[in-house]
Structure 1
Amino acid sequence: MRVVGFTDLRPFELEAPLSAMDADSVVVALDPGANALERTVSQLRRGRAALRADDTDAIVVYNGSGMLGIVAVFLSLVYGVPLVVRANGDLFRQHDEKRREHRQTGRWGAWLGYCGLAALTRVTFHYADGFVAVSESLAETLAGQTRCPRERIHVVPGPVTPSQYRPNPIADGASDSDTGSMTVLTVTNLQYRGKYLGARRLVDAMVELGERRDDVSFVIAGDGLYFDALERYVESRVEDDPLGTRVHTLGFVSDVAGLYASADVFAYVSHIDAYPNVVIEAQGAGLPVVASGGYGIDEQVEDGETGLLVDPEDTTALVTVLDGLLSDAERRHRLGAAAAERVAERNAPESLGPRMQTVLEDIVTQCA
């Protein structure tokens, strides 16, 4: 089997499972810093070269949004090769959220741009011969939003390299050996309102938790459109609170692995996701995870076994769960160790490669 892949975002997530297959794969990774025209020309030129080089059984495009997907459709039709979308996120929800935001703020040019982006993505999904989603939740969304037969929509979870996120050796109640303080960490993409609202929920919970104990700090890593709004929200919530010196909004952080290694608990709340990478990264680092359910997160966290799921709307319940976990070193260690073992088994590229090959072969066979 020979596969040609296209991506303009996070190439590891496409390259890792494809390269671990017992097959020939070529991934055309486009420069995300180039403009749209440059990326389109590069994809056409490099894609034609890859497809001409040898017989190709499938084209796989990462998410398939915008012109990346349209060019993949064009190459699929010209060369008669089945097109598969590797779906990593709920683009329908993302595009709807962005259109709503821009409409409410009167940014009509940006609103029109997202209307066009959504339309192009719909075209790609219409022509796709199959989908490989990162979660069952996303697979069901695709089944409802596209005309693709359900038997051609498969699930292969997202990859993580366990060795990159070393198990946390200090999740024992003493992140800071001098002060005895403990750290709750969240890492999120503040480009989306649904994730910004999740971060706000955690800030609310940490303020309440700070009233119960003075040994905990909260670190929020992540940048994006809503970063300034989150900073303002934090300031408004902790202005006269002792926790104010213990809530840190870091923005973009390159050494995320280092953050995982210095934390005691990873907390994550989101209202827009499909299978968040940060959850499996934290689990790979041996951190116990406290998270909201849904959006593929409950497929990552087995409640009570590899982490704890909570109702994000119930702040008191969220605080109680965090407080109990911070007070129980043995439970933190047990949950974190189980999570790290599960990620190593389910999300390592060498585990995903055979699964990816099987589902691609199945889609190709059904297209024959």
Structure 2
Amino acid sequence: MGRTKLYPVGSGRLEKIAPALRRAFDVVEPGRDPVPRSLRAVPGLGQAGTLVEYLGPIVSAPAVDGEKPVVLVDSVGLFPLLVGILCEQRDVPFVVRLRGGMWKEFRDRAHTESHLRRHSHNLHKEFVRNRVLSLADRILPVSPFLRAQVAYELEVDLERVRVVHNPLETDRFDATPEGRFKRAIGLDDEKFISAITSFNYRRKYEGIVHFVPAIQRVLEAHSDWHFVIAGAGTAYEEGRERIRERFDEPVRDRVVFTGFYTPIEELLVDADIALHLSFRDAGPMAVLEAQAARTPIVVNTGGGMAGLLDRSVRGTAVVENDDELYHSLNEFVEEPERRRAVGERNRRHIEREFAPETVAAEFRHAIDDMLS
């Protein structure tokens, strides 16, 4: 079998997995190949530039003799639907990479809208999503949890659904000097627990809201520790106030909101403990990034976070309730050597399971099996 020619189209997020893709395939970058003349003007359709970016490479793909073209998208909106339809018509293998959760995700994102608009938005988006996935020759969720969601939500042959993880290069964490984030937010030498969330999705930041009592107990017991929350989104003001109001006044001044912060490496390298509390996330990069930064991390069971950890490692903390979270955090706070040891094991786990060459092999196996 010759080397497969892969056309990743449509989303800038595909750039993040480009190192893994290039290890496995001959990758054709969007916009690099000549655009067919027939697509330079599409009457009656707006956003023609975006349409060309999606459809141009696909029309060109089968024209090269002896190659095995495959089209890859990583979103499930209207343009991927057009891509899928065209691939079906031209008998081009169509692969969809799934990064996000499958349970009422559009309704959750639109929670600030009216009930009628939210319901309409949800039905429209889910119809398009399901149609895109029905056209896919392969569906590649980024976590086992997300694969289970696909099985639950859709009538689909699970042989078409293969887990291909998010790749992560660790060099950028090694190159990040310590102390920059603390200086930026004025913490100096104080210790802190970090949490990264999105305020675009209610069920993401509600994970933090739910577990505030446990974090409150830790801050009360350790007056030199802070809780730092990074993240932004359309419901930032609402979410921030809901979280703040749940903390009692004596510790509230040690709860810090940074809003959107970049580079995220600076935050995670400086963090003493990372938290990821969510009822929405299927395979969040923040969990991988915390481990790459050698930071011990505690997650809850309300999503796919636990599947990104090495559960065989003693000290891996996956919690269901406030008491479990309090005890896990408190042990890390009181045992700095344990924090360091778990952090090192986390890093080795990322290097072993999520390195670009490892994920490239997952991609290659999933695609080669489809083409065989």
Aligned residues between the structures: 352
1:52 shift after superposition = 4.2
Q: Matched residues in 2 for 1:167 and 1:135: separation?
A: 28
Asked if the contact 2:139/2:160 (under 8 Å) is kept, the reply is yes
1:131 shift after superposition = 1.2
1:169 shift after superposition = 8.7
Q: Matched residues in 2 for 1:223 and 1:75: separation?
A: 37
The 3 A distance-change label for structure 1 pair 294 and 316 is closer
Aligned to 1:350: 357
Gapped runs of 5+ residues in structure 2? 32-45
Gapped runs of 5+ residues in structure 1? 30-34
1:91 and 2:102 correspond: yes
SS in 1 for 2:329: helix
Cα offsets for 1:89-145 (capped at 9, x unmatched): 22343135346x36xx52533542332121111111111112112112211222233
Asked if the contact 2:102/2:150 (under 8 Å) is kept, the reply is no
What is the correspondence of 1:1-368 to structure 2 with a 5 Å cutoff? 1-21=4-24, 23-28=25-30, 38-49=49-60, 52=63, 55-63=67-75, 65-98=76-109, 101=111, 106-166=114-174, 181-238=190-247, 240-241=249-250, 243-293=251-301, 295-303=303-311, 305=313, 308-312=316-320, 314-365=321-372
Q: Matched residues in 1 for 2:330 and 2:231: separation?
A: 24
Asked if the contact 2:107/2:118 (under 8 Å) is kept, the reply is no
Q: Matched residues in 2 for 1:246 and 1:236: separation?
A: 13
1:180 shift after superposition = 5.4
Query: TM-score, normalised to structure 1's length?
Result: 0.86
Cα offsets for 1:20-47 (capped at 9, x unmatched): 21x2122438xxxxx9665334322354
The 3 A distance-change label for structure 1 pair 284 and 208 is same
Identity over the aligned pairs, expressed in percent?
A: 22
The 3 A distance-change label for structure 1 pair 344 and 218 is same
Cα offsets for 1:247-280 (capped at 9, x unmatched): 1111111211000111100011111121111000
1:329 shift after superposition = 1.1
Q: Matched residues in 1 for 2:92 and 2:314: separation?
A: 41
Aligned to 1:32: none
Cα offsets for 1:211-233 (capped at 9, x unmatched): 21101101100111231122212
1:57 shift after superposition = 3.2
Asked if the contact 1:198/1:269 (under 8 Å) is kept, the reply is yes
Q: Matched residues in 1 for 2:155 and 2:50: separation?
A: 28
SS in 1 for 2:30: strand
The 3 A distance-change label for structure 1 pair 349 and 68 is farther
Q: Matched residues in 2 for 1:306 and 1:191: separation?
A: 34
SS in 1 for 2:28: strand
Query: TM-score, normalised to structure 2's length?
Result: 0.85
Asked if the contact 2:102/2:146 (under 8 Å) is kept, the reply is no
Asked if the contact 2:299/2:305 (under 8 Å) is kept, the reply is yes
CA RMSD in angstroms comes to 2.9
The 3 A distance-change label for structure 1 pair 202 and 326 is same
1:235 shift after superposition = 3.4
Q: Matched residues in 1 for 2:371 and 2:79: separation?
A: 21
